[in-house]
Amino acid sequence: MNIRKAISLVTALLLASTASQAQQAPATIEELWEIVQRQQAQIDELRLELGEARAAMAATNERVEETEVRVEATGDYVETLAAADTGAQKTTIGGYGELHYNNTKSDAGDSDEIDFHRFVLFFGHEFSDRVRFFSEFELEHSLAGDGAPGEVELEQAYAEYALTENTFAKTGLFLLPLGILNETHEPTTFYGVERNDVESIILPSTWWEAGAGMNGRLGNGLSWDAAVHSGLAMPTDGGSAFRVRSGRQKVAEAIASDPAYTMRLKYTGVRGLELAASYQYQADPSQVAGDGLDSGQLFTAHAIFQRGWFGLRALYAGWNFDGFAVEAAGADKQDGWYVEPSLRFSDNWGIYARYEDLDAARDQDKFTQSEFGLNYWPVPGVVLKVDYRMREHSLPALAVRDFDSLSLGFGYNF
């Protein structure tokens, strides 16, 4: 019985197993074909979608590239407009100015004066990589015209030509390469409300003439300048006889009978140091024959040392004139020198002291002067100044004109 039951049970299990195997049997070829066709359709559909996506991506990339090109072109155009607006490309504008207040006390009388001494505009233009133009236009003492104290002056207007990378020629109206301040005199670049007197009376800065010149920059820190240009026409009589400053013609319908020649050698090859010497010769500084002023020679040299907070400037300038009249007047030798130590505590503050000794043609231009003062630069292009000067004349008769002066100044350049 048990055996029969067992056989029946085994048989039943076998039948069940067979039926199950019949249910999981491999698909027929037809079924497989159907599956493959469905899958192929899906693949085709995906391929189509991929192709469309790729095309869309390519179109997007193309649009992005087009947009980039348009943005760059827009940028170029806007920058061109901006450059034209600011003049930053070929033509540039700059300027400087200075306002002075002087409170002077002297036995000859006290005075208070405020004066917008200089208002200057620069215009520069780059004609090409090799030809450039520089100019400087100035209004002095704020008001010009008949009876007014000021002047409208053209201080520079010249073209510079590059002969080689480091050799240049220039023609036109230019500042002479003499001294420290004559070429670089923006008020933010020097101490003191008023410019030093040696570079005003002996070197009559700002001194410009018309002519032609050359300069070269050598690789070892040496540079040279040479120029032939219009000269002085110094008066030989009157209160300003043989006064160099009165001889400047400012290239205003100037007498051009006798040219002058100026040369300079400058060394700036070591950090913080500048050494320079200039020489000028003029065959007839009055440009009038037979008036007792026959020729003039100017020599000037200066040294500048600036390292860290410490600065030192020293300059000598002297004239030698030939001619019976200038010798008889005792004005054949005119010279002066100054020394100026300074300390700059920060980018904003600096103090200085200066001592000057002058011996020029006029009696009032023979004196010594001590001064000290302070510069404050709130930003690099603006300066506020205060100084105190004490002048003592060399001639006892002029002691009454000795003075002490407190000066305040405001200057800017851009």
Partner 1 sequence: MTRLFFLLLLVTTGPAFAGPGGEAGRYMEAEDYVRGAFPGGSPAPRTLWVSGDLRDAVERVLGHRFAALRLRYWHDGAKSVWILDEIGKELPITIGVTVAGSAIENVRVLEFRESRGWEVRYPFFTDQFVDARLEADGRLDRRIDGITGATLSVGAVTRIARVALLLDDNIKTKG
Binding site for partner 1 (CB under 8 A): 75, 78-79, 82-83, 85-86, 88, 92, 94, 122, 124, 126, 129-132, 134, 160-171, 180, 183-184, 186, 188-189, 211-214, 217, 221, 228, 230, 256-259, 268-272, 274, 304, 306-309, 313, 347, 379-381, 413-414
Q: Least Å distance between CB 75 and partner 1?
A: 5
Rounded Cα–Cα distance for residues 412 and 414 (Å): 7
> Closer to partner 1 at the Cβ: 340 or 371?
340
User: Which candidate, 333, 397, 409, places its Cα nearest to that of 371?
Assistant: 409
Residue type, 20: S
User: Which candidate, 238, 251, 236, 329, places its Cα nearest to that of 284?
Assistant: 236
Q: Least Å distance between CB 239 and partner 1?
A: 29
Q: Least Å distance between CB 401 and partner 1?
A: 33
> Closer to partner 1 at the Cβ: 44 or 76?
76
Q: For residue 167, give the 3-state DSSP assignment.
A: strand
Q: Which residues, other chains included, contact 259 with Cβ-Cβ below 8 Å and sequence gap of 6+? A: 211, 228, 229, 230, 231, 282, 283
> Closer to partner 1 at the Cβ: 132 or 389?
132
**What's CA 71's distance to the chain center, in Å?**
34
Q: Least Å distance between CB 235 and partner 1?
A: 20
> Closer to partner 1 at the Cβ: 199 or 359?
199
Q: Least Å distance between CB 266 and partner 1?
A: 8
Q: Least Å distance between CB 199 and partner 1?
A: 13
Tokens (6 digits) for 76: 């170029």
* 8-state DSSP, 207: -
Rounded Cα–Cα distance for residues 208 and 187 (Å): 18
Kind plus residue range of the DSSP H or E element containing 69: helix 29-86
> Closer to partner 1 at the Cβ: 302 or 393?
302
> Closer to partner 1 at the Cβ: 48 or 82?
82
Q: Least Å distance between CB 86 and partner 1?
A: 5
What is the CB neighbour count within 10 angstroms for residue 73?
10
Rounded Cα–Cα distance for residues 231 and 325 (Å): 19
> Closer to partner 1 at the Cβ: 33 or 127?
127
